[in-house]
Amino acid sequence: ESTLGAGIKKISLNVFKLIAEAEARIHGFDIDKIHFHEIGAVDSIIDIVSTAICIKSLGIESYYSSIVPLGSGFVDSSQGKLPVPAPAAVEILKKVPVYGGNFDFEVTTPTGAAIIKALAAEFGEIPRMEIERVGYGAGSSVKKEIPDVLRILKGTASDEYKPKEENLVMLSANIDDSTPEIMGYLQEKLLKNKVLDVWTEPIYMKKNRPSFKLCVLCNRESELEIIDIILLESTTLGIRRKEVKRFSINRKIVTVKLPYGEVKIKIGTHKGKEINISPEFESCSKLAKKTGKPLKEIFQDAILFFSRR
């Protein structure tokens, strides 16, 4: 019934839900029978709701967290002495990377654990980013081992390290009365006319007829031109259309010198790392025809000499 925005309420409820689910599992109760202890205190509600308000006001797309420290020892609560980390904190942090640390006190509370888990997309090192602002929040606890300080870095992820996102169009047609020669010619023509990808899938249609499913990926700007080609060059009477998103990693082409010639290699990079290395078929095929060497040997040499660069 509060006047808080829907987004703020959603974040706050997600945090409270994590805590309630953890308490329910620990005590063996249904979630609707859970009675909050410390969590029901005004200061905890303020912590959670204030965090949600800040989150919405910052307008950040994704949150990342360092590996979560837990601490050790015991802590007093309304339920008596509890081990550190508290049972609720451990339950909440399942499947989250954590470490104990050389601390004989509580470092992460159930409330803090729930906030982090509700927000963080990933845990670990600071992601590749350009830092824009830095914020600090200090508590009143004084410890020699670790400062009672929370630091938040706000920044923009470099496009170099983000997958490329595109809004594309997928065109498809089921064809049961064509020949492989015509389908091959159609694919070649489509590849020369602004399509991003084209392929066929074997399918069975009515009366168990072996057929082709033609699939074409293209930009919105060129879809009418592509539809025209499909209708003119194939025997289909209709085309299906749907919008799709494509995510792709960054790529570049490099030239590698071999003892008997040069070939091009395509490299796919993600988060600053080379994760895919593939010799380009056309350049390897051309060199194979020129030298008489087996194509597979050229592929192997290309990868070998690339790794030695």
The H-or-E segment that residue 166 falls in is strand 164-175
Residues paired with 272 in a beta bridge: none
**Residue ranges in the chain assigned as alpha helix (H):** 6-27, 42-58, 87-92, 110-119, 180-191, 223-233, 281-291, 295-307
Q: Is residue 85 part of a domain?
A: yes
Q: Which residues of 79-114 are buried (b: 16+ CB within 10 A; e: fewer)?
A: eeebebbbbbbbbbbeeeebeebebeebbbbbbbbb
Q: Are residues 65 and 81 in the same domain?
A: yes
Q: Are residues 283 and 191 in the same domain?
A: no
Q: Are residues 17 and 142 in the same domain?
A: yes
pLDDT tens, 190-227? Answer: 999 889 999 999 999 988 889 999 999 999 889 999 99
- CATH code (residue 177): 3.30.70.1380
Neighbours of 7 (CB within 10 A): 12
Q: What is the pLDDT of residue 296?
A: 96
Q: Are residues 96 and 188 in the same domain?
A: no
Q: Are residues 184 and 287 in the same domain?
A: no
Query: Which of 140, 159, 178 is where one domain is finished?
Result: 159
Q: Are residues 242 and 300 in the same domain?
A: no
Count up the domains in the chain and report the number: 3
pTM over cut 0.85: no
- Per the model's pLDDT, the better-predicted residue between 134 and 3 turns out to be 134
Q: Is residue 1 part of a domain?
A: no
- Per the model's pLDDT, the better-predicted residue between 49 and 157 turns out to be 49
DSSP state for residue 126 in the 8-state scheme: P
Q: How far is the CA of 241 from the CAs of 168, 185, 214, in angstroms?
A: 11, 22, 12
The parent domain of residue 257 ranges over 250-307
Cα dihedral 73, 74, 75, 77 in deg (nearest 10): 160
Confidence of residue 230 (pLDDT cuts 50, 70, 90): very high
Query: Which of 159, 177, 198 is where one domain is finished?
Result: 159
Q: Quick check: 34 pLDDT over 70?
A: no
Q: What is the pLDDT of residue 62?
A: 83
Asked, as a colleague might, if the bond just before 180 is cis with ω within 30 of 0, I would say: no
Q: Are residues 13 and 107 in the same domain?
A: yes
pLDDT tens, 293-303? Answer: 999 999 999 99
Q: Are residues 20 and 146 in the same domain?
A: yes
Confidence of residue 116 (pLDDT cuts 50, 70, 90): very high
- CATH code (residue 271): 3.10.20.300
**Residue ranges in 35-86 assigned as alpha helix (H):** 42-58
What is the residue whose two structure tokens read 């293209």? 218
Comparing CA positions, the residue from 208, 196, 36, 56 lying closest to residue 111 is: 36
Comparing CA positions, the residue from 289, 288, 251 lying closest to residue 267 is: 251
Q: Give burial (CB, 10 Å; 0-12/13-18/19+) of 206.
A: exposed
